Amino acid sequence: MSEGPAALEAWAWQEAGVLLVPPREDLAGEIPEAERCAPSAWTDAEQESLAISLLDDPASPRSSSLALRLLSQPSAEPLQRQADGLRCQLAGDTVTYVVNRNLNTSNHCQKHCSFCAFRRDPGQAGAYWHSFDSLQQRAAEARALGATELCIQGGLNTAARIDGSALTYHVQLLRGLAEAAPGLHLHAFSPQELLFIAEQDQLSLQAVLEALCGAGLGSVPGTAAEVLSEPLRQRLCPEKLTARQWCAVILQVHEAGLASTATLMAGHLESVADRAAHLLTLVALQQRAWQHRRSGFSEFVLLPFIGAAAPAPLRQRVGRDQPDLAAMLALTAQARLLLGVWFRNHQPSWVKLTLAGASEALRWGCNDLGGTLMEETITRMAGALGGTAQSPEALQAAARGLGRPVRQRTTLYGEVLPCA
Ligand code: SF4
């Protein structure tokens, strides 16, 4: 285990070491997905009994063994019914969505994650880096179209500096966007990007967060979590921040008063024990945030792996170009039950599952359809079939097609007030 980077606060590094739940392969063994989705020895009644025990007390502590038992069960109607019931209990029937625009600033990236079809070296075919002018124009267009949020992420671009400073570049980026699109919520920079900025400038993460908040940062995407399992990350993305570092950054983000999302990339090499460790770690981080009266995570987003254009070694190992919808729906239900009261909002990815798949996920524990996005780049480059944008009307129709009420929300699930 590497030591914590100098950028991180000592308390955050220490707490991350305590809160990060290690995968318990000794309890589960590594169960191949094919086996996980095969008919189980468990009867429907046994699965329903387990689901009901979680539903009866959604605040009950979740142990590794309980998580493993639940996650080892195949897709089944009892889990679907119970997850849908818990969704109704915690979040109600109304389906929410946000009108937002994705700004993927550049795909120049110094790292080489095994699942990433987005990254390019500068000058390589398909490489791009949007200018401030271009990004400001996109932000102004989004505002004119009724967006309330800009979601800003990009590769780890070592050339993104102003006067030699990565932080100055990112501060000026936020200021420029706020100027072009006043009033829009700036949901920006994954934990990996935040740590990258700090390390590029040899600054503390605290100083980076303070400067970015001063420039208008409103909340942080919880991407780059992938799966919070150190052994798996060594295989998937050994150059990236570790699971413990991700947790430490999130602790500091929450402590700074910012909310973040929480994600799980699933359907590749992860075992049931990896999934359990990830979900239990998210619960531990959320409990800690709430104990300290912080907002913590605003939502959980399941991100199925897209293999179509992923680098060949991982694509071939996984052997699937598009997500296994049935397996992802089962995991959607399992996550809703395991995350219990600690995650009110669950969101499927229509980009990865298609809108039809994401609409189905609304019956398996999800209550939110995410954003309109307007221009999604990262998953499109991975070969996903869900498209790059949805109109508000399409998201509304998806919810109404299930007989559910629907409303537009803000990034942090508040009411969208009519323009004056
Ligand atoms: S996932 Fe992110 S950090 Fe990894 S290679 Fe792709 S852009 Fe770079």
Q: What is the pLDDT along the chain (420 residues), one digit of tens a residue?
A: 445 679 999 999 999 999 999 998 777 544 444 434 343 445 666 666 666 667 667 777 778 888 898 898 765 678 899 999 999 999 999 999 999 999 999 999 999 999 999 999 999 999 999 999 999 999 999 999 999 999 999 999 999 999 999 999 999 999 999 999 999 999 999 999 999 999 999 999 999 999 999 999 999 999 999 999 999 999 999 999 999 999 999 999 999 999 999 999 999 999 999 999 999 999 999 999 999 999 999 999 999 999 999 999 999 999 999 999 999 999 999 999 999 999 999 999 999 999 999 999 999 999 999 999 999 888 889 899 898 999 999 999 999 999 999 999 999 999 998 764
Is the CB–ligand 1 distance for residue 118 below 6 Å?
Answer: yes
Instruction: Tell me the CA–centroid distance for residue 192 and ligand 1, in Å.
Output: 9
Domains assigned to the chain = 62-408 (3.20.20.70)
Closest atom of ligand 1 to CA, residue 237: 4
Per the listing, tokens 């979740």 go with 62
Radius of gyration of the chain (CA): 20
Which secondary structure element, helix H or strand E, spans residue 114, and what is its range? Answer: none
- Candidates 45, 109, 114; CA nearest to 82 is 45
Does the Cβ of 218 fall within 6 Å of ligand 1? no
Decide if 292 contacts 213 (C-beta within 8 A): no
Question: Would you tell me how many other CB atoms lie within 10 Å of the CB of residue 56?
Answer: 9
Query: Best of 112, 118, 190, 265 to mutate for ligand 1, by most ligand atoms within 8 A of CB?
Result: 118
Q: Is 156 in the pocket of ligand 1 (CB under 6 A)?
A: yes
Q: Output the CA–CA distances (angstroms, integers) from residue 73 to 56, 89, 174, 303, in the order listed.
A: 19, 23, 45, 20
Nearest CA to ligand 1 atom 7: 155
- 19 Cβ closer than 6 Å to some ligand 1 atom: no
Give the closest residue to 416 by CA, choosing from 371, 378, 383. Answer: 371
The Cα-based distances of 126 to 120, 238, 385 in angstroms read 7, 24, 19
155 close to ligand 1 (CB < 6 Angstrom): yes
From the CB of 120, is ligand 1 less than 6 Å away? no
Q: Using the 8-state DSSP alphabet, how is residue 419 labeled?
A: P
173-215 confidence digits (pLDDT tens): 999 999 999 999 999 999 999 999 999 999 999 999 999 999 9
Is 100 strand, coil or helix? strand
DSSP conformation class of 323? -
Helix axes 325-339 and 64-71, enclosed angle (nearest 10): 150
Minimal-distance CA residue to ligand 1 atom 3? 111
Q: Count Cβ atoms below 10 Å from residue 232 Cβ, excluding itself.
A: 22
